[in-house]
Amino acid sequence: DTAVSQTPKYLVTQMGNDKSIKCEQNLGHDTMYWYKQDSKKFLKIMFSYNNKELIINETVPNRFSPKSPDKAHLNLHINSLELGDSAVYFCASSQEEGQGENSGNTIYFGEGSWLTVV
Amino acid sequence: AQKVTQAQTEISVVEKEDVTLDCVYETRDTTYYLFWYKQPPSGELVFLIRRNSFDEQNEISGRYSWNFQKSTSSFNFTITASQVVDSAVYFCALSEAQGSGAGSYQLTFGKGTKLSVIP
């Protein structure tokens, strides 16, 4: 029943490893995102995809590579993990709603994936 | 450039007290959206409300109410008769379209206000 689900929820790994976080949404939304929350709880966008097409890439290192096999999935692969990559990664999705003054774009988040690099 | 400021880093209240969380935003766009999200200790981000820039009506949902004032660029959140379950970090966020087309919206978050409700 979970609208935006991501796995794994917790991930502990060593520096230099490669890891992936998977995300799926069953809301029928066209747009998906990855956000990063650092140790100070600051949230910042990393990527957005619309219908499998990359729309936003916020100066994220090349070690981070999102992949969207279809519009319901947006996976995040991270190569050569570094200590500074430790964070909570949130997947999210949204859909344009309404028109004109009634338009909007509500972003719904998954439960987060806690990545710890040791 | 867009910016969201939540000046209150932490607030503690005793249960049943009312509490207001402040949010001030900056944007050059005339069309934008304002949000509040709740992050309880379990860590998920829960959507609470979205307000379009065209709609300055205040909103009430149960014990929650929101006051949107474009004149002061503020979107404050009040919890009436607070409960222990309200303890969480609350984020205010602003969305503008970065370009045209779907997928170009992104949320700019404030740094969050940690609310502790003491029984």
For chain B, list residues whose CB is within 8 angstroms of any CB belonging to chain A: 33, 35, 37, 39, 43-47, 50, 52, 54-55, 89, 91, 93, 95, 98-99, 101-107, 109, 111-112
* Beta-carbon separation of A50 and B112 below 8 A: no
pLDDT of B97 over the 80 cut: no
Give the pLDDT band of residue A88 (cuts 50, 70, 90): very high
Q: Give residue B72's region: left, alpha or beta (phi > 0; psi -120 to 50).
A: alpha
pLDDT of A98 over the 70 cut: no
Tokens of B58: 């205040």
Average pLDDT of A93-105?
71
User: What confidence tens digit (pLDDT) does each residue in A32-49 have?
Assistant: 999 999 999 999 999 999
Q: DSSP secondary structure string, B16-84?
A: T--EEE--EEE-S-SS-EEEEEEE-TT---EEEEEEETT----EEETTEEEEEEGGGTEEEEEESS--G
Name the 3-class secondary structure at A85.
helix
Give the pLDDT band of residue B30 (cuts 50, 70, 90): confident
pLDDT of A110 over the 70 cut: yes
